[in-house]
Structures are given as structure tokens and as C-alpha cells.
Amino acid sequence: MNLLELVEKAGVTGCGGAGFPTHIKWNAKADWFIVNAVECEPLLQTDQYLMRNRADDIVYACRQAAEMIGAQNAVIAVKRAYGKEIAALEKAVETAGAAVRIHRMDSFYPAGDEQVIVYEVTGKTVPCGGIPLDVGVVVSNVATLAAAFDAMKEEPFIMKYITVAGAVNSPAVIRAPLGTSVSECVEAAGGAAADDCFVVSGGPMMGKKIACDAVSGRVTKTTSGILVLPKGGFMEEYKGDMDLEALKKRARSACIQCSYCTMLCPRHLLGHPLEPHRIMRAAAFSEDLDQLLESDGPVRNASLCSLCGVCTAYACPMGLEPSKLNAFLKEEMARRGIRRSGKETTVPLPDREWRKVPTGRISRRVGTADYGGTKEDALIEIRPEEVAIALRQGPGVLPQPVVAAGDRVSPGTLIASIPAGALGSNLHASIEGTVVEVSDVIRIRG
Ligand code: SF4
Ligand code: SF4
């Protein structure tokens, strides 16, 4: 079996974003293969753990993937501040005699954005609305490489490395089976350190607020962080929902059109015609959503937004939320099948270098700077008695269950499969036990 078949069989998906199936992403020819090891969200330390402890595996998988896609350049992009991680990677590269280059990046946010990383490493800009492959680049997260290495040993993708941090008693990197409840993960990190908290899946900037008791409160293939945060602060408001009318009202009454949101927008700084201040102005004075979306102009450029949150959490002096407006517009455009026209090539702005937002400053601004880090090389293994594995783990087709209630399964047993080559990912049992439910989740009790 070749590498593509192995990652497809193992159900490997991207670990750093939306969970795009790796066998589809890697079924390409490109000049560059970049491993995204930047981990730019405050508090997250999962990728750093992997680099320190699985450097050989990551370098090996990087070489194999780069060779398969025909890439002349295999690069691991990492923050220069990660000294121990760089040392581990360099040693692994040297030991393997691998043609893999380590690219050091500054500590700014969002250095790990795919389009930012492509420019920083290659000097090429991804066209507006395009993907890295448009300029001959494939980017994969460092945790995806670790999962691909396991796939090469025919081990399915059933375990997740996760940072559990924020207001917990003992922040930790844990290793949990898919489908583990978020509350068990929080308990493994010593439990919540404050009474009234909420939970975010992912990093503080781009992670999603989740309910602990629902399917969304379970470990999935894309879970990289679980953050416990106290209610009542900036983060609760930042993660809260707001409807269009409320966003419009706030824009009309408080947006002073200073354009700081645009000046600091990482996509705008790459030359994209994304100008959140103009979208705010259009929204403030539009009659309704139909009018707002009717013309192909600044508002449709919301589709270029990465939802990094710099405009909302850092730039706006009035406490407004351009990223929430963009999120709303992106979703609405997708629902209506509206696409902005054009796939223009862009030129980064000359002042991009000194408008980058330092990670430390954004962490202080959003209130996460005071939380403790994880104990460096202590990994907590979680062994839950029950898991509920969601069928939907990413984009594409839903895998079809191949087990029924009452079946006995072991770690790695195929429980739901996709047709060969389809956009989707196979699912495997993550613990030993009996299948007790097959619905939109497959529940297994040990
Ligand atoms: S969230 Fe704001 S800063 Fe980030 S890409 Fe979108 S508009 Fe730009
Ligand atoms: S930074 Fe805030 S006040 Fe200034 S233009 Fe943007 S949304 Fe309006």
C-alpha cells in the first residue's frame, strides 16, 4: 500500500483546521511541502510537545510526504522562540540525513495561518480565494504528520494529543481516544480552577465555545486544545454569539471608521482586498441582508477573512466585532451559494513587517497571559470507559457505519467507512468495548 492509501485507510485528517482528509490534500503535485509547526495561538502547546517527543517520526513522515508529491523543498516552519523543539528537529534531520529545512519564524499572530506561512516560507502569495496548491505548495500541520507516521505502521487515527489549559489546576498535554468527553479531559488537568467557567475547543483566538455535555463536547480529530475560561470577562463576550441586527446597531452607533481593523488585518497586509472597516460601514447603513449581499464588492470580500480575530480582539479601539460580522456574512454567502468573483494575485503591503501583532501582546490583551503552561514532557494518558465518536469529523461525505449495537470492537476496528478515494475519512473504534449506539455518533462502552 502506498502512503496515500495508508493515510486514507487510517482515516487521517488535518489536525490544524477544518479536518480536511489528508489523502485528498496529498493527492497532488507541488514544489513545496511545508509542515506547519508554528502553533501561534496563545496557550496551546500540543505541537511543541510533539516536536520535542516525536521529532524523528515527524521528519520521517515529512520526507515521505514531500517525496510523494514531488516537492523539491521540504520545510518545517517553526517559531524561532521554540529552542528545544528546533534542537530536537535538527537532531532528527541530521540523524536521518534528510533534505528537510527548518524555517524559523517570528512570534506573531497568526503566523500559522496557511496563507501567511506560505508567504513567509516561499515569498509567494496565495491568490485571493485560492489555496496554497495554486502556487505549488502543500501545507500540513505537525500533528497530521505524526498521525501519518502512525498510519505508515498501519495504526488508525484514533488518539488525539490535546493541550488542556486556562483556568485548570494542572495545565497539561493529554492523549485521549476520539470520542472522550471534554469534562474527562478537564478532570485529567486537575479540574476547573474557578466556579463559573465555560469551555473553548481550540485556541483562545479561533477556538469555538462548546457545551460539555453534547456531541460537541467530545474529542474529535480536530481537537487540539481544550481551554477552561472564567465567565464574565472579555473572552466570554468575544466567544459569544451576536445576530446581524445587533452587529449592525453596534456598527452604526460606535464604528468611528478609524480603519485600524483593516490596517492590522493579516489578510489585508498580504494584499487581499479585505477591508473590515468598509464591511462595517456597509452593514451599518444597509436596509437588510439582501441589499448587503447584492453587489460584488467590499462586503463579498468577507469571504477572504480567515476569522483570526485580530480586528476584534486587538485592533478595534471601540470594542466592536468585525470578525463576527464576517463570520456571519461568510456563512450566509455559503448558504446562498454566493461566491465573490476573481482569484487575483496579490502583493503584500510594504508596511506588513511592522504591523505584525506579537503573540505576547495579543495574549495579554485577551487575558490569557497569566495562565500557567503545561509541564514540559509529562503526558497524561486518558482511558475513558465510554466514548461517543461523531460521524461528522470534517468536510465531505459522512462515513457509513459498518457496526451495529451489540458488536464487540477493539481499538482500531473500522466502525464507519467512506467509498475509496472519497472526500471524507474512515472512523475506527478508539477503545475496547461494545457498541451501544449508532446514530450521528457511535457510542462504545468498555
Ligand atoms: S478576522 Fe479580522 S483581522 Fe482576521 S482576517 Fe478577518 S477581517 Fe482580517
Ligand atoms: S477598528 Fe473598530 S471603530 Fe475602527 S473602523 Fe474598524 S470596526 Fe470601526
Query: What is the grid cell recorded at 101?
Result: 529545512
Residue among 366, 300, 287 nearest 329 (CA) = 300
Probe target for ligand 2 pocket from 261, 310, 324, with the most ligand atoms within 8 Å of CB: 261
Determine the pLDDT at residue 213.
59
Residue 265 alpha carbon to ligand 1 centre in Å: 5
Give the separation between CA 235 and CA 82, rounded to whole angstroms.
Answer: 26
Determine the pLDDT at residue 339.
82
Ligand 2 atom having least distance to the Cα of 258? 4
Q: Which residue has the cell 483562545?
A: 204
Q: Whose CA is nearest to atom 2 of ligand 1?
A: 311
Probe target for ligand 1 pocket from 114, 239, 267, 314, with the most ligand atoms within 8 Å of CB: 267
CB 147 within 8 A of CB 60: no
CB 279 within 8 A of CB 325: yes
Query: What is the per-residue pLDDT across 419-437, written as a single tens digit (0 to 9) for each?
Result: 887 899 999 999 999 999 9
Q: Which residue has the cell 519564524?
A: 105
With 60 as the cut, is the pLDDT of residue 215 above it? no
CB 203 within 8 A of CB 165: no
Query: What is the per-residue pLDDT across 125-151, written as a single tens digit (0 to 9) for each?
Result: 999 989 999 999 999 999 999 999 999
- Rounded alpha-carbon distances, angstroms, from residue 329 to 22, 234, 322: 28, 23, 11
- Rounded alpha-carbon distances, angstroms, from residue 186 to 182, 308, 334, 409: 6, 25, 34, 26
Query: What is the grid cell recorded at 65?
Result: 510526504
User: Nearest bound ligand to CA 320?
Assistant: 2
With a CB cutoff of 8 Å and minimum separation 6, the contacts of 193 are 167, 168, 169, 228
Q: Whose CA is nearest to atom 4 of ligand 2?
A: 258
Q: Whose CA is nearest to atom 6 of ligand 1?
A: 305
Ligand 1 atom having least distance to the Cα of 276? 7
Average pLDDT of the residues of the chain: 93
User: Nearest bound ligand to CA 254?
Assistant: 2
Query: What is the per-residue pLDDT across 294-325, written as a single tens digit (0 to 9) for each?
Result: 876 789 999 999 999 999 999 999 999 999 99
The stretch 371-386 carries a mean pLDDT of 86
Q: Whose CA is nearest to atom 2 of ligand 2?
A: 316
Cβ–ligand 1 distance for 202 under 6 Å, the answer: no
The pTM (predicted TM-score) of the whole model is 0.93
CB 425 within 8 A of CB 21: yes
Radius of gyration, CA atoms only, the chain:
22
